[in-house]
Amino acid sequence: MRIPLFNDLIDQGLLNEEQLNECQEEERATGKALDKVLREKGFVTESALLEVLSKRLHIPYVEDLADSDVPSDFTQLVPAQFARTYNLIAVGEVAGVLQVATCDPLDVQPMDDLAAMVARVVEPVIAPRAEITALINRAYQKSSADVDELLEGLDEDDLIGIAAEIDETEDVLDIANKAPIIKLMNTIMFEALKIRASDIHLQPFPDRLQVRYRIDGILYDSKVIPKKIQEALVSRVKVMGKMDIAERRLPQDGRTSLKIGDGDVDVRISSVPTSHGERIVMRLLDKSARLYELTQIGLDEHNHKLIRRLITSSHGILLVTGPTGSGKKTSLYAA
């Protein structure tokens, strides 16, 4: 950011020379942006900084984006990864001009790239980073299609070449410009995460592929996938897990990482051949899930003391056993 901005902060009594000099020294030593150093040290809040920037650049400042409506075609034209990387989201459109919220209006290149994507004139609106992130998450979550809707649009041509298209760490909310099979798999995973399922099962039958979600240890039937799509959908999952899609006679294991909004999810994948095709089980491990203390997992006082004594012992082995979804990992993390 330009020096006149910090002069404005000083003139308004939001910053003093001593604090600015201290932050400039750290900027030179660490290479961090000066405005970031100011916020980290607590000398200036983000909102104060953005308001001063708004006045200097004559760009509107919006503190709350909760009631903002993202134009319907924005999430189809702009990949979620781009919106998240540059913290850009459309908040309205007036006379063909797209109003785009940003927390860094001095970085003009992403705005130019965005204008090319949407084929419209764009104008910046300054907003806090957290507000932009929250609106991005809401917009792309809302735009994720329903499984039934995606199934209606699939035909045999959609089953070709899906294995080659995969990102290293994919955002399951990002379905813009994706092949229909990839959109379908992303939507199945998003629905599982939304209902807090621990596992996704793809169970083949003679006439269909059954999607099942495990919630609180109980397996529930969900969507029915047409048999003609089974091979392509299974191949998509195996590609995600870096498994051999040509090998269908032996069990395989794989893993991948996904993004959903700001969260990260690890996925363990297993495939087992059956008489009706390969059965897939995907275990979802949400890194952002709450970690419990040992006192919060339902132990009575006696068992709590017993486990405390066992885990501090210098020898021996402690076995944690139980059926799928019974809380083994939760207990281990708590310990």
pLDDT computed for residue 297 by the predictor: 80
Residue 239 has pLDDT above 70, yes or no: yes
Q: pTM for this one?
A: 0.53
Q: Match domain 72-142 to its CATH number in 3.30.300.160, 2.130.10.10, 3.40.47.10, 3.30.460.80.
A: 3.30.300.160
pLDDT computed for residue 275 by the predictor: 94
For domain 153-286, give the CATH number.
Answer: 3.30.450.90
pLDDT tens digit sequence for 105-145: 888 898 999 999 888 999 999 999 889 988 988 887 765 55
Supply φ then ψ for residue 221, to 5 degrees.
-70, 140
Domain limits, the chain: 2-44, 72-142, 153-286, 301-334
pLDDT computed for residue 100 by the predictor: 94
pLDDT-based confidence at residue 50 (cuts at 50, 70, 90) = confident
Mean of the per-residue pLDDT values of the chain: 82
- CA 296 to the chain's CA centroid: 27
> Which residues make Cβ contacts (< 8 Å) with residue 186, sequence separation at least 6?
144, 170, 172, 173, 174, 175, 178
> Which residues make Cβ contacts (< 8 Å) with residue 258, sequence separation at least 6?
169, 170, 171, 172, 189, 264, 265, 266, 267
Question: What's the mean pLDDT in 138-161?
Answer: 58
Whether 231 contacts 202, CB under 8 Å: no
pLDDT computed for residue 267 by the predictor: 92
Check if 72-142 and 153-286 are the same fold. no
Write the DSSP symbol of residue 58: T
pLDDT computed for residue 163 by the predictor: 40
